[in-house]
Amino acid sequence: MTFRAPGRARRAAPLAAILAALGLLATPARAVLAGSTSAPVRGPVAATNAQLLQAAVQAVANQLVSEAPLTPGTRIGLRAESDQPLDGDVAEALLQALNARRVDCVMLAAIPAAPDAAGQLAAQAAAPPTGPGGGASPAPATAGALGAFAQLQAERAAQAAHADSLKGKTDPAPKSSGASSSVLATGVGGDMTVISYRVAEARVDYVRQFRGGLFGAQRIERRGSARIALRMSSPGSDAVRWSASADTSVGDVVLKSEIGALEDRTRPETRPVAPSSGISKVVEPVLVVLLIAGLVSLFYQNRP
């Protein structure tokens, strides 16, 4: 004897099978019931973009300092090769890595940029003419010779300033009774090894945007990248006796709705452009749902 379900039950069976196949009968219903009685349970707060970038910088600093030929108890000078907004974060990461190796550090001023000789000559040319004869300009040949001589003197002055900064030939600061000396030094001692660093790359990128599950929330994969180069100079000389560079990247996945709270408005490197989601990312889930629904419907319709 064969028992057949009523027609209404048979017609409802494909719909129930489709919902069960898509997994829509368990989680949403429980979430709605739980939300009506208690507050939603939130997970741990994601790290900000600045913290993600700092983690990448710290990893690179630890790797470079571990490779540096330094012995515990050494006293070195740390300085930046240029003036960039990220120099402070990199300096802090290098200080932590060097202190972990029991290396004493003295923060030095950044290497001064060479004066622009062309800009000085342009300013001199734009200055109002002076001298006898109503400020008449000298002969063209004399003006060209003076310009070449001024450019040569500017280049020599820049080289001399750079050499003096490395050798510690700086103007002595005025002495003040009872005042302690500043940690930020302007020169390099003759017996101190100098490590200069250069930030080649440090930024946060949004790699891709995707949906968590068939009907889940939009998520963004982000990645913090950093690349730093170090140079070690011998005491009292600008000769480089060791150099190295390293790079790394760290990443995670966060909700798209949290991106605005994770970015820092004052730091452009932490505010990348989010990738746009194409139409195919929306059409593909719909096609999968229709395909599964069609197969399940055909399966139940062809049954005797």
Q: Is the pLDDT of residue 172 over 50?
A: no
Tell me which residue has tokens 């003006």: 143
Question: Percentage of the chain with pLDDT > 90?
Answer: 40
**Over the stretch 184-237, which tens digit does the pLDDT of each residue have?**
444 444 578 999 999 999 999 999 998 877 677 899 999 999 999 999 998 888
Q: Are 245 and 211 in contact (CB under 8 A)?
A: no
Q: Is the pLDDT of residue 122 over 60?
A: no
Please report, to the nearest 10 degrees, the dihedral formed by the alpha carbons of residues 172, 173, 175, 180 taken in order.
Answer: -120
Region 5-27: mean pLDDT is: 51
Residue 7's pLDDT is what?
52
Closest to 205 measured CA to CA, from 273, 252, 265: 273
**Over the stretch 221-230, which tens digit does the pLDDT of each residue have?**
999 999 999 9
3-state SS assignment for residue 212: coil
Region 23-28: mean pLDDT is: 44
Residue 274's pLDDT is what?
85
The residues near 289 (Cβ < 8 Å, ≥ 6 apart) are 22, 214
Region 57-72: mean pLDDT is: 95
Region 8-27: mean pLDDT is: 51
Amino acid (1-letter code) at residue 271: R
Residue 288's pLDDT is what?
75
Residue 39's pLDDT is what?
47
d(CA 288, CA 293): 9
Tell me which of 151 and 22 has the higher pLDDT.
151
User: Terminal CA-to-CA distance of the chain, rounded, Å?
Assistant: 15
Closest to 83 measured CA to CA, from 109, 57, 115, 104: 109
d(CA 206, CA 213): 19
Tell me which of 96 and 181 has the higher pLDDT.
96
Under DSSP, the state recorded for 89 is: H
Q: Are 190 and 168 in contact (CB under 8 A)?
A: yes
CATH topology of domain 45-115+183-273: Rossmann fold (3.40.50)
Show the beta-strand stretches assigned E in the chain: 75-80, 104-107, 193-211, 218-233, 240-255
